Amino acid sequence: MKFIIDHLSKHYEKKKVLQDISFTFESGKIYGLLGRNGAGKTTLFNCLNRDIKADGGTFWLEENGKQRALKAEDIGYVLSTPTVPEFLTAREFLKFFLDINADNMDDIKSIDAYFDDMHIDPQDRDKLLKDYSHGMKNKMQMLISIIARPSLLLLDEPLTSLDVVVAEEIKQILRSLKEGRITIFSTHIMDLALDLCDEIVLLNHGELEAVDKSNLDNREFKDKIISALREESHE
């Protein structure tokens, strides 16, 4: 399976955020979308999720050599600021999600089995989500996206504000679930992209550029990337 972006563009008034982007992503890989804060990573995700309308271009999935339009259920989108129904407990939220999606899901596990997969402690499972920490809310948001088994998983800086233990747990989960789906993980932290991702894609000056990951171990090459991103921030 491939996810193909073709000549995608987006601008706000006179500022061109995305400029004629074309790129092909392949299943079974975690792609690190590397760019400064404000480079357009969230704008790109919002266009792909159809939360905002692109000014030009298109995108689609390719399976067994055949193209098809991207459906809502094909996409899992984990926001940097998690959005969960805080008036429900974690168990109630998960049960509600499983109930309304039961007809579209195979091999549904028990609620506690899903909590186990996400390393959510038993004493936290019946707490109101409003009492969850940022990291715990993020886990719940990611759990829902993982259960839905989307073909395309968009992760918008989901680890930036998490503590080391939770961040490492989520990285291990993402590595274990990458087969059969395309995962695009946005971040402005180069070392995080190197640690987690199979491929690195640089969003710079509104364009996407594949980066040879082996080169990023080279100090001179890292400095070149940082310099390019610094130049963009001064425009």
CATH annotation of 2-233: 3.40.50.300
Q: Where are the alpha helices (DSSP H) in the chain?
A: 41-48, 90-101, 111-117, 134-147, 164-176, 190-196, 219-233
pTM as predicted: 0.86
Report the pLDDT value the prediction gives residue 234, as an integer from 0 to 100: 44
How many CB atoms are closer than 10 A to CB 201?
21
Residue pair 42/96 in contact (Cβ under 8 Å)? The answer is no
DSSP 120: -
Paired residues of 89 in beta bridges: 128
Report the pLDDT value the prediction gives residue 128, as an integer from 0 to 100: 97
Report the pLDDT value the prediction gives residue 224, as an integer from 0 to 100: 61
How is the chain split into domains, by residue range?
2-233
Number of H helices, E strands in the chain: 7, 10
Specify the long-range contacts of residues 165-173, CB closer than 8 Å, at least 24 apart.
166/135, 166/136, 166/138, 166/139, 169/118, 169/119, 170/138, 170/139, 170/142, 171/195, 171/196, 173/117, 173/118, 173/142, 173/146
| pLDDT per residue rounded down to tens, the chain (235 residues) | 999 999 999 999 888 899 999 999 999 999 999 888 788 999 999 999 999 999 999 999 999 889 999 998 899 998 878 889 999 999 999 999 999 888 777 778 899 999 998 889 999 999 999 999 888 888 898 888 888 888 999 999 877 767 788 788 888 888 888 988 999 999 888 888 888 899 999 898 888 988 877 766 667 666 666 665 665 544 4
* Tokens matching residue 223: 């400095």
